[in-house]
Structure 1
Amino acid sequence: MMSDTETLRDEVRAWLAEHWDADTRRAKSGGSLPDWMDQVVAAGWAVPGWPAEWWGRGLDKQSVSMIVNEFRKVGAPGAGQDRTNITANSVMQFGNDELKRKIIPEFLSGRASQCLLYSEPGAGSDLAAVRTRADFQGDHYIVTGQKVWTSGAQNADYGLLIARTDWDVPKHEGLSFFIIEMRQPGIEIRPINQITGDSHFNEVFLDGAVVPVENRVGDEGEGWKVMQTALAVERLVMGDGAGERRQGSAKNNVISLIDIARETGKINDPVARQEIAQAIAYRKLNALNMLRAKQEMAQGSASPIMSLGKLAMSRILHEDARVMTKLLGAASMLDGPTHLLAADINYRTANAYMTSIGGGTDQIQRNIIGERVLGLPRETEADRNEPFRESRAVTG
């Protein structure tokens, strides 16, 4: 007699065999990627841990993991977004029913994209000190302020915005969370040029931009709590290697280390072998930690464990780049199209800093781990309980 898990696995495999071509990695029905994602959503595979009335199947975390693995085996995208989709998860947990119906399907299908309007020039390490304001006027808010280090703002349909709606309460209590349309008057985007030659990050200036009240996620003043969930999902994704995948490399980083050692004649060098083994160990350990984090995310937790994974991936990328550079030796000083391996390693070295900054800097992750995982004393914040209007962030 088959178990419930075996029955579900057979159902997933049969559905994939009917709808997905594993050889071409395309939907058998043709169409665009969003068309395929619509099929995944309709079948309940996109967010299988959510209730059936909200596009899910109400499954436990082990079943969700199994579904994600079956999709991964055949190269099919779209499953398990109840762990990885920042906007959908934030709205699902805190949004009202009307906002869920309006926003979530767009993001599960991939027809809508988001950017994260969190950090400001004066509010990075102390994110609760944001000064972008959202003033309520009738049935909408007027937003004025500046954001920085915003990835993908040029192409985003919506921004996940944290803004201050009350200046007379302590800083964490006066924030609200919104989903704002990016393509509107009052929003100016300026790319930031990175050392890699990319411009993933941007400055975003908001001057009279409008966001309807129905696009507020959670109650007014609940923004800090909502943002913690959004950040937890982002850190989970980054800890799983999103920054590395953005490089577009066709190879896994660990395999690249071994290939470079062979190519440079150092595959039998005991020191090189030890460093490569250490790099593999870091990845294996982080993979186990990410399994823990995904299980907690499936249960609706914004656990600080996500910070461990995010910090670990930052270390992995920097360490891999260091070992690659050492293996290549003096040739690592070369660059350009005639020295592709050196160019790739140099790109990886510089690009590793993106993971060190995005989703909260490495230093912020260490603070979170120290306070919430290890139970160390909190860093002193003299203005934590003062009305924000009277805090140092405003008065200087």
Structure 2
Amino acid sequence: MSTTADHSASVRAEARAWIGEHWTGTDDNTWRTALVEAGWAAPTWNVDTYGRGLSRADAQAIAEEFAAAGAPGAALELRTFRAAPWLHLLGDPLKAFGSATLQAELLPKLLSEELSIGCLLYSEPGAGSDLAGLQTRAELDGDHYVVNGQKIWTTLGHEAQFALLIARTDWDVVKHAGLSFFVLDMDSPGIEVRPIKQITGDTEFNEVFLTDVRVPASRIIGNPGDGWKVIQTALAAERAGMGGEALAPKGDGTLAGAAKDLVEAARAAGRHNDPVVRQQIVKILSWRLSNTWTGQRALVEAFRGSLALANVGKLAMSRILHSAADLEYRLQGRKSLIYDYSRPQDYPVDHALMFAFINSIGGGSDQIQRNIISERVLGLPKGFEPDKGVPFREIRKGGTAQSAH
């Protein structure tokens, strides 16, 4: 019986031979297409979704061989969520629920990085934490759905090539059952994107208005009415990504490096020998390390079909980000009152303090994460649901909601 080491050596040899045959030193469409069709772009994915069904250890060996040859685009699934978010946000739902036709249309573009910037058309002014209460409608008209509604807090909507959209296709069933999940092109007629000025002064978020936007019926992921099930896969990927990468961005992988940013801030403030500050640094360090280990557990559990730990990691990350930013902010003293782009030593700290709220809200608020953890991880009873079993058309809507009739 061959060992794991023997198998990895075989995989390396195959990768080297393939690189030698196909890599010409030019990263173009021909190269990327060949890479995807051979299964090297995401080797841990299944063969029927342009992968090779290999282990992460094999994928790491493949990545090393391609890197040694200077050939890009292999083993993309090993990248961090921040570096390749759409590989999971779009790729995971497509692999789990997408039709063979839709997979064949979109997965090669995703793996070749032709599709690289997307946005999420989930939240609405009247449907944030209660996302299943959304009222954007998608009505079937021949071989297209016609979409009308408004979405909000859409990150990078002004730059996106495509969007993941959840909309209501049936008003006569309970609210979770009447939703469908689509992939739409952001240059479609009828889409208007308006920037939202954030507390940081940036405009990454947007309002998106959809007026008679036509989406091909073939662009639905799953079946009509499966939207709530599909979006759970997408949200799990988002929450796992937001909960991962707990170690400091300046870290070098060592225990000391995991707190390097906080130690540097304490030294700059002359507080590195302050026992109270040192204790706070160690506390945040312990949270970072624990959440990194939780993230590793979540990855293993995800391969077994369980997504619950993604919520644990995301909730923990909120505390980590807020606590680390707050400590650096207080260490700056009076300089923390200055919020000026022209002061690169001071501005990032204030920005991080405010930006931390993104993790507490995006992908489901901290309160929602606690509910999910209590029910799905701890097995506690669900809270009261006043609209349980009621067709969505009959549920009382907010004052700004459009009529369902």
Q: Which residue of 2 aligns with 1:256?
A: 261
Contact map agreement 2:136 2:168 (CA 8 A) in 1: yes
Contact map agreement 2:243 2:314 (CA 8 A) in 1: yes
Letter in 2 for 1:217: I
Once the two structures are superposed, residues 146-202 of structure 1 have per-residue CA deviations (whole angstroms, 9 ceiling, x without a partner) of 111111111111111111111000001111111111102111001111111211111
Contact map agreement 2:11 2:61 (CA 8 A) in 1: no
Contact map agreement 1:9 1:66 (CA 8 A) in 2: no
Query: Structure 1, unaligned stretches of length 5 or more?
Result: 21-26
| % identical aligned pairs | 42
1:4 aligns with 2:7: no
Structure 1 residues 242 and 207: CA distance shift in structure 2, 3 A: farther
Letter in 1 for 2:269: T
CA distance in 1 between partners of 2:260 and 2:320 (Å)? 14
CA distance in 1 between partners of 2:66 and 2:359 (Å)? 24
Q: TM-score, with normalisation over the residues of structure 2?
A: 0.85
CA distance in 1 between partners of 2:201 and 2:60 (Å)? 39
CA distance in 2 between partners of 1:243 and 1:120 (Å)? 33
Q: Which residue of 2 aligns with 1:316?
A: 320
Superposed displacement of residue 65, structure 1: 7.1
Q: Which residue of 2 aligns with 1:85?
A: 88
Aligned length: 384
Contact map agreement 2:262 2:324 (CA 8 A) in 1: yes
Structure 1 residues 131 and 376: CA distance shift in structure 2, 3 A: same
CA distance in 1 between partners of 2:223 and 2:199 (Å)? 40
Contact map agreement 2:15 2:65 (CA 8 A) in 1: no
Superposed displacement of residue 5, structure 1: 3.9
Superposed displacement of residue 229, structure 1: 0.4
Q: Which residue of 1 aligns with 2:196?
A: 192
SS at match of 1:143: strand
Q: TM-score, with normalisation over the residues of structure 1?
A: 0.86
Letter in 2 for 1:294: L
Superposed displacement of residue 257, structure 1: 0.8
1:105 aligns with 2:108: yes
Structure 1 residues 171 and 72: CA distance shift in structure 2, 3 A: farther
CA distance in 2 between partners of 1:2 and 1:383 (Å)? 57
CA distance in 1 between partners of 2:26 and 2:359 (Å)? 35
Letter in 2 for 1:220: P
Query: Structure 2, unaligned stretches of length 5 or more?
Result: 82-86
CA distance in 2 between partners of 1:158 and 1:19 (Å)? 32
Q: Which residue of 1 aligns with 2:164?
A: 160
CA distance in 2 between partners of 1:155 and 1:323 (Å)? 34
Structure 1 residues 240 and 19: CA distance shift in structure 2, 3 A: farther
Q: Once superposed, what is the RMSD of the aligned Cα atoms?
A: 3.2
Structure 1 residues 9 and 317: CA distance shift in structure 2, 3 A: farther
Contact map agreement 1:142 1:209 (CA 8 A) in 2: yes
Contact map agreement 2:239 2:311 (CA 8 A) in 1: yes
CA distance in 2 between partners of 1:364 and 1:36 (Å)? 44
Q: Which residue of 2 aligns with 1:52?
A: 47
Contact map agreement 2:239 2:310 (CA 8 A) in 1: yes
Superposed displacement of residue 314, structure 1: 1.5
CA distance in 1 between partners of 2:218 and 2:209 (Å)? 22
Q: Which residue of 1 aligns with 2:372?
A: 368
1:8-23 alignment runs, 5 A limit: 8=8, 11-12=11-12, 15=15
